[in-house]
A and B are shown apart, each in its own frame.
Chain A
Amino acid sequence: MSEKTGRGALYLFHRSVGTVVAFVGVLVFYTGSLSVLQHELDAWVLRDQPARSIDGFSAEGLDQALALALAEAPERDEGAAIFVATAPAEHLQVTFSLPDTDDRRFVMVDPAAGAVRSVQEGTFVERMKALQPRQSLERFLVQMHIRLLLDGNLGLWVTGLAALALLVLLGSGLVVAWPRRRHWVRRPRRSLRQRVGDIHVLIGVWSAPFAFVLSLTGAFFSFAGALLIPVMIMVAFEGDQERVQEVLRGDFEVQAAEGEASFGALVMAAKARAGEGRSLERLRLENWSTDHRHVVIDYIDHESSVDSRRLAYDGQTGEFLRELPILGSQPSGASTILSWISALHFGNFMGLFGKALWLLAGLFTTLLAVSGYGLWAVRNESRSPRLARLARTLTGAAAGLPLATGAAIAAWAFAQGPNVWSAMTWAFFVSLALAGLAGAGRQWLKRVRSVLLLGALASASVPFIGRFRMGEWASGDALVVDVFFVLFAFLLALGSARLPRLFPRTL
């Protein structure tokens, strides 16, 4: 066979890369779409014991909480930072670094009762898993998106490579089927292969800008931690980790002074300065045991994370020192770029409308992989029955994602304590495997239709599962999750009902 070049080579390349990475891609895109609602999912699972924003406590309660936590502080460097964050059930979590180890001491304080609830040591990841079994649902979806539930950097490498592969798939797909006017709408065609091919190109044309943004920012997030930042630090900072930390945090000197400002009063002042629609997310207490202590407070703008900043206060006098960007000591191109990368990846720049848009666009983009596998199945029907069967299995599994999500949520609701994570994992992957097996047969389009319908039923049952598990209906932010799953169920049922119109001779 002669070697192809130009568009011919790109077409073959598109098929090869798509075959290998599309399933990882579809898992990452689908769970990433649902992760857009991670804040709402947290509210959904904790509807009966909501987390309170740091600025929701009284100044006296905060002062008392910090004093209680400091009494549990370990032996440590004077300059080591202390972190304060909000936790479920209206608690505060105060985190201390332990010397010569990655472990930390986590002190959970109840400001309302003025009592320490727990003191635990371990890594940050261990703490996240142990914190609240109910929050496993949101973490399961986010961890599947970030690292496919794999440990350490391996997961970041896999999802990063999938994001890079999606970039070349988009590039090669656009060159191969360069969008002309006829690609923007569905055309009446006779053969199944032409119909599936048209649908694949149609979805690709409409989702290309969104998929490009997501894969670019996703590759950045995956590879930044696993590979790029360490390499860049080695080259740009000659491996000086301390210097890097200083530059990232935007460290600055605070004049030594007598006295100690009220921690609670600082928080209230920061809330007033941040303004309405913004919440204080995390506080970093620097040099707290010395006479040049200061507090850095991160605030999040809920409408647009691009407008999020940090506020620094003198820990002795309580005086406002300066406003800092999310990165570094002063506004720069780096902090603007990072803010936008973050906002564009998480869809957090137009409030709930932006999130809804990102969620729908993400789900729409997953159809690219489903239609791609469908095309592969049809194309190999007569050429290679084994490959066709594999492609049909993958199409069925991809169509089974909503069903698998419903199964994972049901497993989360019924499993207790530490078993919840493995129960969700088993339920999710067994459902995917069953959907794949259902799609493997010759009547695969009929089976895909049934799998979609089951997915619709599973999605529609999510609000009832929540009501059963938590004993009350969702309200406020949590209601967004119920509304989404009901709409999703409607869209899946509609898709299932429309399939015979798309493929009239086959169904």
Chain B
Amino acid sequence: MRRWRRELGCLLAAFVSALVLSAALTLVLPKGAAQLDHVVVATVSFPVLWAGIGLWLVQAAARKRAWTLTLSVTLLALVPVVLQVLG
């Protein structure tokens, strides 16, 4: 049961982190000729980011370090996203 809870936690954390990171990507990627490249590339990157972060968190030997790094990067990416949404 404990393992299940931990794995589910890793997947949920990866989901939130991937969502925030892909939202932040829209702010840094070039818009391209049709003004849409940043949205499409960020949307496509979401599943890849989720799977990558999820697998990394599940198997990490240094678990604390993996979680700290994931949380830090997510929070760092969240700042410009929140600033943008709040205008």
Name A residues whose Cβ lies closer than 8 Å to a Cβ of B. 3, 5-7, 9-10, 12-13, 16-17, 163-164, 167-168, 171-172, 175, 215-216, 219-220, 223-224, 227-229, 231-236, 238-239, 247-248, 250, 325, 327-335, 337-338, 341
Contacts and interface: CB of A to CB of B under 8 A. Distances in A.
16 contacts: A5-B61, A6-B61, A167-B47, A167-B51, A168-B11, A175-B59, A228-B22, A228-B46, A229-B39, A232-B23, A236-B39, A247-B35, A325-B34, A327-B40, A328-B33, A335-B36
A331 B42 CA distance: 18
B40 A234 contact: no
B37 A334 contact: yes
Interface residues of B, number: 42
Contact of A224 (B19, B43, B63, B87): B43
Given A219-B47, A337-B41, A328 B55 contact: no
> Considering the complex of A and B, which 3 residue pairs feature the smallest CB-CB distances, nearest first?
A328-B34, A332-B34, A334-B36
Nearest to A19: B4
A229 B43 contact: yes
A167 B41 CA distance: 18
A171 B55 contact: yes
Interface of B: 3-4, 6-7, 11, 15, 19, 22-24, 26-27, 32-44, 46-48, 50-52, 54-55, 58-61, 63, 81, 84-85, 87
A86 to B, nearest CB: 28
Nearest to A232: B39
- Interface on chain A toward B: helix, strand, loop, or mixed SS? helix
Given A333-B32, A337-B40, A163 B47 contact: yes
Contacts of A3: 3, 6
Contacts of B22: 228, 232
A398 B39 CA distance: 38
B34 A327 contact: yes
